[in-house]
């Protein structure tokens, strides 16, 4: 018998199957060819949603609607006050519908219901923060160019934005993009993952109820081919923002390059936590345990790679293994569950493959390393897994496993720790644990990452901008810099009075 904390099925699932449709130009519609696709719960196996499967025609119609809405100026040239008022109403409506949204988020992703509730209400806070930015948006002026010149720098909405979101945090990540694009005055076409389309469609209804003009936000349900590809390459789209795998991000950047449109990419991560010998090992162990199992490890910020000083490695791993046994895996609909299901059987196999390959290459399993059966549930679950003896050349140390799997490496010197942390194609986030502030600051300045946490992991706030370096992406989300992504800068040079000297000398 496994010495783990498991939560069996609570009982039958009570829900209505959601029937998703496209939102184009303010109207809900099915696909022209009548095509649909189904999503079954990865934890419970039940049918969760049946959605219209969009094609090129639906994507192009949505882009045309967004283009018309932008060019009309009903949203792009309205006041910051008016935009903020709509965004604030959306936030209120999200909170009103939070329980229903969270239920479908849990059923389609397999994540715990308690976590889904937190993400939905947290998304409402993102909408409120974006509303505040809408009213404080401003450019610059230059009055030192001479008595006869005044320079003004304007910040204007970039135009039509394609938003392509992933399956692991469908509602939250949309909240990191859409309200900021709207605060800037952009119009949008949104394509959620085909694995998790429902909560995005639900948000569309709330946008209409909040009074957003028709065509400002359009939603097309379907697959990356052809919908996502069309949204990336279409000449009437001014910008595409995507969250997902680095491989798909490269394809989107390539498609967008034909029209040189702006691209913002939030991609993969292989995020290191470096634990120095003087760290508080109890606090570090708890944070490491949270970092690797949160969202079943299906998280770009997953703390899946720890780099521990050799003198304390055994002590830290012992603590992490003991805590891992106490983390509640099981039925996502039980509020006590902390880790739910893996998103699909194919992804489960991919996770298991990384673990088996590492063991074959000489790594050792301290815990887990196999699929997990949960009583009463037919879905995909994976055991909490800790892999020691990992070397930097192993794929499990370098590639994104995207599962509840922790890789443990060791170091002796600060330079070695930094080198190991940076020895990766990714640069999304990193962490450092030490009681010495100088050690933390030195690491924070030398590590190649968009976010660095010191003596904590994955604390986030709407005010703090998020994004990666290297192959973790381009651009930034949330915070004031997240708004800047959706703006173009325009310079206006104004001559005061009739002071310009003639270029042509008249006779």
pTM for the model stands at 0.97
Q: Is 473 left (phi over 0), alpha (psi -120 to 50) or beta?
A: left
Bridge-based pairing of strands 187-191 and 217-219 is parallel
Q: Report the catalytic residues.
A: 266, 300
Structure confidence at residue 386 (pLDDT) = 98
Across the chain, mean pLDDT equals 97
Sorting pLDDT into bands at 50, 70 and 90, what band is 362?
very high
Q: Choose the CATH number for 14-267+472-491 among 3.40.605.10, 3.40.50.11540, 3.40.350.10, 3.40.50.300.
A: 3.40.605.10
Q: Are 483 and 133 in contact (CB under 8 A)?
A: yes
Using DSSP, state whether 321 is helix, strand or coil: helix
Q: Is the bond preceding 179 in cis, omega lying within 30 degrees of 0?
A: no
- The fraction of the chain above a pLDDT of 90, given in percent, is 97
**272-454 falls under which CATH superfamily?**
Aldehyde Dehydrogenase; Chain A, domain 2 (3.40.309.10)
Q: What is the pLDDT of residues 302-319, one digit of tens each?
A: 999 999 999 999 999 999
- The fraction of the chain above a pLDDT of 70, given in percent, is 100
Enumerate the domain spans of the chain. Answer: 14-267+472-491, 272-454
In order, the DSSP letters of 222-291 are S-IIIIIHHHHH-TT--EEEEES-HHHHHHHHHHHTTTT-EEEEE-----EEEE-TTS-HHHHHHHHHHH
Q: Taking the C-alpha atoms of 320, 439, 397 and 319 in order, what is their torsion angle to the nearest 10 degrees?
A: -10
SS3 string, 108-125, reads HHCCCHHHHHHHHHHHHH
Structure confidence at residue 268 (pLDDT) = 96
Q: Which residues of 161-193 are buried (b: 16+ CB within 10 A; e: fewer)?
A: bbbbbbbbbbbbbbbbbbbbbbbbbbbbbbbbb
Structure confidence at residue 1 (pLDDT) = 54
CA–CA separation, 204 vs 212, rounded Å? 10
The phi, psi pair for 102, rounded to 5°, reads -65, -35
């Amino acid at each position: 018998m496994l010495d783990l904390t498991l939560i069996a099925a609570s009982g039958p699932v009570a829900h209505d199957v959601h029937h998703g449709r496209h939102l184009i130009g303010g109207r809900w519609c099915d696909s022209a060819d009548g095509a649909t696709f189904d999503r079954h719960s990865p934890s419970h196996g039940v049918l969760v949603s049946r959605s219209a499967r969009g094609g090129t025609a639906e994507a192009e119609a949505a882009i045309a609607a967004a283009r018309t809405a932008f060019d009309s100026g009903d949203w792009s040239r309205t006041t910051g006050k008016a935009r903020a008022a709509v965004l604030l109403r959306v936030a209120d409506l999200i909170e009103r519908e939070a329980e229903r949204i969270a239920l479908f988020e849990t059923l389609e992703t397999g994540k715990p219901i308690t976590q889904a509730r937190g993400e939905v209400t947290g998304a409402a806070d993102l909408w409120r923060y974006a509303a505040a930015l809408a009213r404080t948006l401003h450019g610059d002026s230059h009055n030192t160019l001479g008595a006869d010149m005044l320079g003004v720098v304007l910040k204007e909405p970039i135009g039509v934005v394609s938003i392509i979101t992933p399956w692991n945090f469908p509602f939250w990540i949309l909240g990191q993009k859409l309200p900021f694009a709207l605060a800037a005055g952009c119009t949008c076409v949104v394509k959620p993952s085909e694995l998790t389309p429902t909560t995005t469609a639900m948000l569309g209804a709330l946008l209409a109820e909040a009074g957003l003009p028709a065509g400002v936000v359009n939603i097309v349900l379907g697959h990356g081919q052809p919908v996502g590809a069309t949204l990336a390459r279409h000449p009437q789209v001014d910008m595409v923002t995507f969250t997902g795998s680095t491989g798909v991000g490269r394809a989107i950047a390539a498609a967008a390059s034909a029209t040189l449109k702006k691209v913002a990419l939030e991609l993969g991560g292989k995020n290191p936590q470096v634990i120095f010998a003087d760290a508080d090992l109890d606090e570090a162990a708890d944070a490491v345990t949270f970092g690797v199992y949160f969202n079943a490890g299906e998280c770009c910020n997953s703390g899946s790679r720890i780099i521990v000083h050799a003198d304390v490695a055994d002590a830290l791993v012992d603590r992490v293994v003991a805590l891992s046994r106490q983390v509640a895996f099981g039925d996502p609909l039980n509020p006590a569950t902390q880790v739910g299901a893996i998103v699909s059987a194919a992804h489960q196999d991919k996770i298991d493959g990384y673990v088996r390959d590492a063991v074959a290459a000489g790594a050792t399993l301290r815990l887990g390393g196999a699929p997990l059966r949960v009583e009463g549930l037919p879905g995909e679950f994976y055991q909490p897994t800790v892999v020691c003896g990992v070397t930097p050349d192993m794929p499990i140390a370098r590639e994104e496993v995207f599962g509840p799997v922790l890789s443990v490496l060791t170091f002796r010197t600060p330079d070695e720790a930094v080198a190991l942390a940076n020895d990766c194609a990714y640069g999304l986030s990193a962490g450092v644990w030490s009681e010495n502030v100088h050690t933390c600051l030195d690491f924070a300045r030398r590590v190649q990452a968009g976010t660095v946490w010191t003596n904590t992991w994955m604390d986030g706030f709407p005010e703090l901008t998020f994004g990666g370096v290297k192959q973790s992406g381009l651009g930034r989300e949330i915070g004031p810099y997240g708004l800047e992504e959706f703006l173009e800068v325009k310079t206006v040079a104004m001559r005061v009075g009739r002071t310009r000297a003639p270029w042509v000398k008249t006779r």
